[in-house]
Amino acid sequence: MSRFNNLQGKFLLVCIAAGMSLNVMAAPKQMDMRVDTGAQDREALKAERKAYHQWLVSERVAAARGNALVVEASADQIDAVDNAPKQRPEIVGLSQDLAVDIEFSNVDLARLRGRAHSLDIGALEATADGGYVYTAELSSPGAVGLRVQFAGFNMPAGAALFLYTEEGQVFGPYTGRGPFGNGNFESNTLAGDSITLQVRQTGRASQRAMRETRFRITGLGHVRPRFMAGECGYNASCVQNAACGSPDSAVDDAKNAVAHMLFRSGAYYYICTGGLIDDNDTSNSLPLFLTANHCISKGREANTLENFFKFASTSCGDTSLCEASYDSLRSSFDRTLGASIVSTGRAADYTLLRLNDPAPSQSTFLGWNENPVAYNDGEHLYRISHPQGAPQSYSEHVVDTSAGVCTSWPRGDRIYSRDVVGATEGGSSGSPVVNGAGQIVGQLSGACGTNLNDTCDAVNNATVDGAFAAYFSDVQPFLDPGTSGCTITESPEQSCFDGVDNDCDGATDGADSDCATGGLPKGSSCTVNADCLSNSCKGKPGSKTCK
């Protein structure tokens, strides 16, 4: 994370005598890391994506180029990202609000045969199998990556939406009510400032299917070049490439647990770091993921999370990532999209997430240890993170109980340490810090000191982590199943409407923050019940609202 503990970078340093005692459990609850040994045929996946791309390009509707959607970012929006001061978390992009409704209810199938039918944005054509294809071009000049935000998404049987670039990057097929089953989602990041959106109805289409095919583009994410700044000498001189080695094999295994995070909060996109954490529940394919509360604290932010795993240099002297384009860089690494909040807290600055996708094959799930270390003066701690969004970096720290304490970050809730190898910067926020056994004991909050403008000044600045021991009781039901009376029974289709606390956070249905974006609020325009958080869409056709 950034070396700042508020957006203005203002700090109050209070020297507190370390005369406090703490009772340490004789046998703390802990769990060792777990390694997923499953194999993934990456070449087969690559071949599948290539085949998709060739097919999509071959059916692209040429007339769509005449009415593309071009969204220009304003000078003020660009300045707010490109010239932003260092902050927590690090800002890298902007979101441009839109209200573009795409629907085909007024399209006459018979008139599609033999010619293209243009809409306000994009165009349709009939296909040889009796279906149709719709193409739309989207762009935002100056972006290094684009993300599309959808609402009211609905694809009938046989229809699917894809997003792709000229260079061969493809995401999809998006079908039904979208990947989260509620019609609302944000796409993965596609490289460049121009992408293609394509809907394909395979097999014989019907007028009913045409009416049921609809979605709204509610925003276009514009990722700025700052997203790639860390790869080309932007880091402080003391930041160390993780490929240059670490002293312990258990710590080294953490490289396959840590992810570079990109997410949206309000009108902007931010980066942080987080890591997979072991709950010893191999029956659940959706993993738990730990980061900082100051990174993600709301369900709507978690829904936009895109994780880039194993984003790392291949060797200590490897400079190829600096010279690579976004398309050949982050786009080639394993990703997950979307998450929900399991538990979060400000006092110890943590957020535990449940990812919406399985972890990449051969991932490591970090172990954990509830034993407090905030008062273990001299204990060595280790970290893999993504400072300034750079490839994986390594840092080593020593707990320092004499370090001055920032007033809002009391020792005990936080762990104060000194950097002895490497360092952290903006983008490192939320990165798990582990002991010599590779067990999580905290996650990065930031820094506290008197010379915060100098990342490499480990004498006057302390690195500060939220202490795992301080919030263990809140996450124990999820990490140590069977120790509480609540049973996690999440069902994406029902969990926001069934009157059950499915995720054991003490809240149900609309009162649960994870359901906050599970549907539209009361009074919103809707088409079907599933559009609404209440699961009730009523009114006259064409003017229905959520009740």
The pLDDT of 265-292, averaged and rounded, is 92
pLDDT of residue 504: 57
Please give the average per-residue pLDDT across 159-178, as a whole number: 95
**DSSP secondary structure letter of residue 36:** -
Q: Is 55 strand, coil or helix?
A: helix
Residue 500 carries which DSSP code? S
Percent of residues, the chain, with pLDDT higher than 90: 60
Whether the pLDDT of residue 25 is over 80: the answer is no
How far is Cα 78 from Cα 159, in angstroms, rounded to an integer? 36
Residue 295 has pLDDT above 50, yes or no: yes
At 5, the pLDDT band (50, 70, 90 cuts) reads very low
pLDDT score of 111: 80
10 versus 533: the higher-pLDDT residue is 533
Which pLDDT score is estimated for 512?
64
Provide the 3-class DSSP secondary structure of residue 517: coil
Distance CA 262, CA 267 (A): 14
Q: Would you say the C-alpha torsion 377, 378, 382, 385 has a positive or negative sign? A: positive
pLDDT (0 to 100) of residue 375: 97
Amino acid at 545: T
What's the whole-number mean pLDDT along residues 236-248?
A: 80
- Residue 519's pLDDT is 63
Over the stretch 320-377, which tens digit does the pLDDT of each residue have? 665 554 444 455 678 999 999 999 999 999 999 999 999 998 899 999 999 999 999 9
Confidence of residue 545 (pLDDT cuts 50, 70, 90): confident
Q: Quick one: pLDDT at residue 490?
A: 47
pLDDT bracket for residue 311 (50, 70, 90) = confident
Q: What is the pLDDT of residue 30?
A: 86
SS (H, E, C) 245-287: CCCCHHHHHHHHCEEEEEEEECCEEEEEEEEEECCCCCCCCCC
Dihedral (Cα; 252, 310, 455, 251), 10-degree rounding: -10
Q: 242-246, 251-255, 329-333: which range is least confident on average?
A: 329-333
* pLDDT for position 315: 80
Assign 171 a pLDDT band (cuts: 50, 70, 90): very high
Can you give the length of the chain in residues? 547
Three-state SS at 242: helix
Cis peptide before 89 (omega within 30 of 0): yes
- Please determine, for residue 233, whether its predicted confidence score (pLDDT) is greater than 80: no
Token pair in block for residue 315? 């060797």
* More confidently predicted of 111 and 384: 384
DSSP structural state of residue 411 = B
pLDDT at position 506 over 80: no
The mean pLDDT value for 442-464 works out to 95
371-397 mean pLDDT: 94
User: In the structure, what pLDDT confidence band is assigned to residue 522 with cuts at 50, 70 and 90?
Assistant: confident
124-133 average pLDDT score? 92
Q: How confident is the model at residue 4 (pLDDT cuts 50, 70, 90)?
A: very low
| pLDDT, averaged across the chain | 84
Per residue in 426-442, pLDDT (tens digit) is 899 999 999 999 999 99
Q: What is the pLDDT of residue 483?
A: 54
In this structure, are residues 381 and 466 in contact, taking their beta carbons and an 8 Å threshold? Answer: no
Amino acid at 178: G
pLDDT for residue 49: 87
* pLDDT score of 16: 28
Look-up of token digits 């396959």? 256
Quick one: tokens of 246? 């670490």
Model pLDDT, residue 228: 73
Domains parsed from the chain with CATH numbers: 28-35+227-473 (2.40.10.120), 60-223 (no CATH)
The rounded distance, in Å, linking the Cα atoms of 255 and 241 is 12
More confident residue, 237 or 513: 237
Is residue 2 predicted with pLDDT exceeding 80? no
